[in-house]
Amino acid sequence: MPTLCRPAIAVPDHVITREQTLDLARERHAGHPQLGLVLRLIANTGVRTRHLVRPIEETLTHPGFETRNLRYEAEAKERVPDVVRRALAYAGTEPDEIDLIVYVSCTGFMMPSLTAWMINTMGFRPETRQLPISQLGCAAGGAAVNRAHDFCTAYPASNVLIVSCEFCSLLYQPTDLGVGSLLSNGLFGDALSAAVVRGSGGTGLRLERNGSHLVPDTEAWISYAVRETGFHFQLDKRVPGTMSMLAPALRELIGRHGWEVPSLDFLIVHAGGPRILDDLCHYLELDENLFRFSRATLTERGNIASSVVFDSLDRFFAAGGAPQDACGLLAGFGPGITAEMALGRWAGVPPSGVPHPAVGEAAVSEAAVSEAAAPG
């Protein structure tokens, strides 16, 4: 049965705090008629720090769509190899043992995909299949896991490498002054991640079932407007309430697998904002402690799009994982409104030569006011 192994995570060195974000909002939007609301929403995200691929002074300028996309490509090529090598090491695999590379990103565009560059420069076989996913936003992390699960189920001896590269700060648009846009400026951060799904063997989440659910008639709730200046993120005010519509889909998938929600031992879910986690606790009637790894990701790194589920899973590994055969759920939420969900059991015996992750203490964020959230 396919196993999702420990992810490798990387964040850029440039850090912006919540206090700095609030000061910038006050300085740059002093005359905004809804500034008070924007400041309150940003303060209530639960985000304390975010990492940026470029210094804040440079991030706040707009050099043009072409320059930004060239910067995305250069930064991706510089930073992706490290997370890939670490993910392969965690899984006990080599580049020539990978049969499919799934590359997910919604913050830049390349054709051919970065997968072609990786195959040409990092020792992957020319026969390696490529699957770039660029239009699922934050849900793409869960979708990547599910497509890897499908592939390894169809080809049981195969291994899949997942790579997520999200430079959300490169999408900053200084002319977008809507409340949703200004909130996003204080919510999203930059990160990269990689993980291997092994067709057999490995330590981590042994994948048993996956599913997808799209909430009808919500296409416009999270979207990009593509203009001369690039991608303009659009967020509907109804987005914070989406867990009331997605929680039943999670419950249904769990039930179809013969499990019950209270039997879950761990959850790794996309933390778009604090209300997402608060509402899942409420609608699924689960202890908020089960969401501590997702909340820690939100607190320390903000919403890092498709990398959230991998960062949260890495924190779970660092805390020692779970007992053998413990039941768990991994889920990503994003545009559509879409949920990508996976169920599995914990496989705690590491492959030969790969040490079991050390037990560590994962950070847990403060309780957050549920007014602000963005799942994608």
Active-site positions? 138
CA 365 to chain centre: 17
Q: Cite the DSSP H helix spans in 155-237.
A: 179-185
Give residue for tokens 């740059």.
Answer: 28
Contact 69, 108 (CB under 8 A): yes
β-bridge pairing 14-17 and 49-52 = antiparallel
- Residues 6+ positions from 232 with CB-CB distance below 8 Å: 171, 173, 176, 181, 224, 225, 226
Contact 309, 268 (CB under 8 A): yes
Contact 325, 23 (CB under 8 A): no
Separation of alpha carbons 49 and 208, rounded Å: 35
Give residue for tokens 């940026």.
Answer: 52
Q: Is the peptide bond before 337 cis (omega within 30 degrees of 0)?
A: yes
Separation of alpha carbons 359 and 376, rounded Å: 31
- Residues 6+ positions from 140 with CB-CB distance below 8 Å: 104, 105, 106, 133, 134, 164, 305, 306, 332, 334, 340
Give the bridge partners for 172, in sequence order: none
Separation of alpha carbons 296 and 282, rounded Å: 19
Contact 345, 265 (CB under 8 A): no
- Residues 6+ positions from 303 with CB-CB distance below 8 Å: 47, 138, 168, 187, 188, 189, 271, 272, 273, 374
Separation of alpha carbons 140 and 118, rounded Å: 20
